[in-house]
Amino acid sequence: MNAVLEVVSPGAMASLQDLGRPGLRRLGVPHAGALEGGWLRLANALAGNPENAPAVEFLAGGLWVRAGGLPLRLALAGHFSAEVVGSGERRRVDSWRSLTLAPGDSLRCGMPVVGRLGYLALAGIRLPQQFGSASTYVRAGLGGIDGRLLASGARLAGTPCDGGERVLRTPPPVDAAPIRVVMGPQDDYFDTPSLERFLSATYHVLPAADRMGMRLDGPVLRHRPEKGSEITSDATVPGSIQVPGQGLPIVLLADGQTAGGYPKIATVISADLPRLAVMAPGQPLRFAAVSVAAGELAARSREAALRALIAGIGPLEDARQIDAQALYAVNLVSGVVDAWAADGAAAVASAARRQE
């Protein structure tokens, strides 16, 4: 008997993704893979999988799964909570941890409270690869299960769980800093006021945002009349910011095409593209220009920070008990002083004088 995870309901755009298919764009094969590769790696580390193992990526919550066969281990990454139903009871679990489902137990993921994205990893998941990856790329029918989004009734094989649960004590912080870009390669297609607006104005994510790209709403960017709004099609990469004739930016994401005919005003650096890709419709963002060298340094810093997070994953002795470590890290009561300490005595005396 195997450990099997059944999809009861996939929610919105649930798919199987790993770290993608790098190095094949010259053949017309997009990178695909997780929109937030760092979160996928954290989910796999929590589940005890290799970092590049495939996991379920879902948008906007609603993913509902059930365990069959033997007990299995799942791990959750993203800013959301979930509900486990089994043995006649319901319990809420937070993300950034692993948990065990007994046969017949189900888990339903809630809406992300930050962004639009979450990951669910299955310990020991096994999937065939195409072009070196199990990532689902729907437009070409590659990867996943028959190259499609997950559907109700889909079944994923894993390994029976062993060992205790694991938790990420310090989740990744929410970073509201501007999205850093390297200008070009066709920034000369835009007039000077448009370039200044691009780097100073606030844009908002439009609902037209999927795995292929993200449309933004904000100030219109004007093309130079002598240049026009189209170019001879050339290469694009995830992070390319195209600006078609209507003047609003489109940021290409993991499933973005490999070539395009719109001028690219800038390219989002690899360290910040995941942060942009997880943004929900309506979220505001701003851009800031940096050098190529600064972008490379940011990529190394992001990798170092991710490695530190993975190294900080530890055991959770009892998933149902109160996490004392988390409580100790929060200042639950303020205004307490030690009257025996010099500064405490001064504070007590000051308070006494105010009461007089």
- Is residue 268 included in any domain, yes or no? yes
Q: Do 164 and 184 belong together in one domain?
A: no
| pLDDT (0 to 100) of residue 1 | 67
Residue 317 lies in a domain: no
Confidence (pLDDT) at 347 = 46
Q: How many domains does the chain have?
A: 3
* Closest C-alpha to 219, from 239, 190, 240: 190
190/279 Cα distance (integer angstroms):
26
> How many angstroms separate the Cα of 350 from the Cα of each of 3, 336, 341, 354?
65, 14, 14, 6
Domain boundary among 142, 168, 194: 168
The values of phi and psi at residue 240, to 5°, are: -60, 135
| Domain stops at, among 112, 133, 168 | 168
- 138 and 193 in a single domain? The answer is no
Query: Which residue range(s) make up the domain with 348?
Result: 329-355
- Assess whether 24 and 159 both reside in one domain: yes
Inside any domain, residue 206: yes
Strands 97-101 and 234-235: unpaired
Domain boundary among 126, 144, 168: 168
Indicate whether 173 belongs to any domain: no
pLDDT at 353: 52
Identify the segments of the chain with pLDDT beneath 70. 1, 318-356
> Strands of 72-77's sheet, edge to edge?
12-17, 55-59, 117-122, 72-77, 97-101, 165-168, 313-316
198 in the same domain as 163: no
DSSP per-residue codes, 108-151: EE---SSSSEEEEEETT-----BTTB---BGGGTBSTBTTB---
Q: Which two tokens stand for residue 92?
A: 């809420």
254 and 335 in one domain? no
Burial label for 257, CB within 10 Å (0-12, 13-18, 19+), is middle
Rounded (10°) angle between helices 292-311 and 37-47: 20
Same domain for 154 and 192, yes or no, is: no
Q: Within a domain: residue 347? A: yes
pLDDT of residue 95: 96
pLDDT for position 147:
96
Give the pLDDT confidence of 203-223 residue by residue, as tens digits: 999 999 999 999 999 999 999
> What pLDDT does 87 receive?
80
Could you tell me if 8 and 86 are in contact, meaning their C-beta atoms sit under 8 angstroms apart? Answer: no
CATH of residue 226's domain is 2.40.100.10
Which residue matches tokens 């200008």? 183
Quick one: 154 and 206 in the same domain? Answer: no
Burial class for 281, CB neighbours closer than 10 Å (0-12, 13-18, 19+): middle
Residue that is written with structure tokens 């997780």 in the block: 34
Same domain, 191 and 336: no
Judge if 11 and 144 occupy the same domain: yes
Q: Is residue 70 part of a domain?
A: yes
Q: Determine, yes or no, domain membership for 314.
A: no
Query: Is 310 domain-assigned?
Result: no
Q: Are residues 101 and 146 in the same domain?
A: yes
Give residue 332's pLDDT. 45
Q: Are residues 21 and 150 in the same domain?
A: yes
Which parts of the chain fold into alpha helices (H)?
Answer: 37-47, 192-198, 273-277, 292-311, 324-328, 342-355
Tell me the CB-side half-sphere exposure of residue 84, using CA atoms within 13 A: 22
Residues 24 and 137 in one domain: yes
The partner residues of 183 in beta bridges, in order of sequence, read 266
